[in-house]
């Protein structure tokens, strides 16, 4: 059996071995609990021992669910799939989102997938977000997230995909879209 790539980072961040986490999961009866119930117990167990407690709560919970075969990589607790594509850019957060909006509005492939659906854009000092539904009913969220050096990353995420195959196809599609967008950024478009 292949080793879950989540386990090493979980062990390092929580300073607990995977075997220790498995004993904890057995002690709380995790196989009989749903995702939310497991996550709440892990959150309490972590206490103030880690930074980004919520992140590591999810990491431990998802790694466990994958370990017991409840879900596979990319699969959400509701059985659907989610994929993300992330790239660094030379642009600042706000300019990146403005450029993405302009690109998405004019890109035939993006428009075909979103089918003219309502696009909502929001933002804070920590991120700018563009979100919509696709013609298949899944959701797309594109975020512009600032980095310490003043530039920003673009993260395109599609959520609610029905199968692992659809997830793989969406990842390839969004990779191509993001690369096409960034080629335009590099060319000054």
Residue 54 shares a structural domain with residue 92:
no
Q: Which among 24, 40, 67 is the end of a domain?
A: 67
Our measurement of the distance from residue 24's CA atom to the centroid of its chain's CA atoms, rounded to an integer in Å, reads: 26
Give the closest residue to 143 by CA, choosing from 121, 160, 165: 121
Residue 172 shares a structural domain with residue 145:
yes
Please report where in the chains the tokens 């103030």 appear, as a residue: 48
Residue 12 shares a structural domain with residue 96:
no
Q: What is the mean pLDDT of the chain?
A: 92
With a cut of 70, which residues of the chain have pLDDT below it? 1-2
CATH number at residue 95: 3.30.310.50
Residue 99 shares a structural domain with residue 173:
yes
Do the domain assignments include residue 143? yes
Q: Which domain holds residue 63?
A: 7-67
Residue 91 shares a structural domain with residue 57:
no
State residue 183's pLDDT score.
95
Distances (CA, A) of 118 to 12, 50, 115, 140: 42, 39, 9, 11
How far apart are the C-alpha atoms of 178 and 189, rounded to whole Å? 14
Do the domain assignments include residue 74? no
State pLDDT tens for residues 93-110. Answer: 999 999 999 999 999 999
Residue 19 shares a structural domain with residue 87:
no
Distances (CA, A) of 93 to 5, 27, 102, 123, 124: 30, 45, 15, 10, 10
Do the domain assignments include residue 75? no
State pLDDT tens for residues 51-88. Answer: 889 989 999 999 999 999 998 887 888 889 999 999 99
State residue 168's pLDDT score.
92
Do the domain assignments include residue 2? no
Residue 62 shares a structural domain with residue 102:
no
- Number of domains observed in the structure of the chain: 2
Do the domain assignments include residue 106? yes
């Amino acid at each position: 059996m292949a080793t879950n790539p989540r386990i090493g980072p979980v062990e390092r961040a929580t300073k607990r071995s995977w075997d220790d986490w498995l004993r904890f999961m057995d002690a709380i009866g995790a196989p009989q609990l749903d995702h939310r119930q497991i996550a709440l117990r892990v959150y309490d167990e972590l206490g103030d021992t880690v930074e980004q407690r919520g992140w590591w709560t999810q990491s431990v919970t998802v790694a466990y669910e994958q370990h017991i075969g409840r879900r596979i990589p990319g699969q959400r607790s509701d059985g659907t799939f989610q994929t993300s594509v992330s790239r660094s850019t030379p642009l600042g957060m706000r300019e990146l989102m403005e450029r993405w909006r302009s690109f998405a509005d004019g890109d035939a492939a993006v428009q075909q997938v979103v089918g003219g659906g309502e696009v909502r854009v929001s933002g804070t000092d920590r991120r700018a977000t563009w979100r919509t539904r696709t013609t298949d009913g899944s959701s797309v969220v594109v975020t512009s997230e600032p980095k310490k050096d003043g530039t920003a990353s673009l993260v395109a995420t599609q959520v609610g995909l029905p199968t692992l195959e659809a997830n793989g196809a969406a990842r390839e599609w969004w990779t191509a879209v993001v690369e096409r967008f960034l080629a335009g950024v590099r060319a000054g478009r």
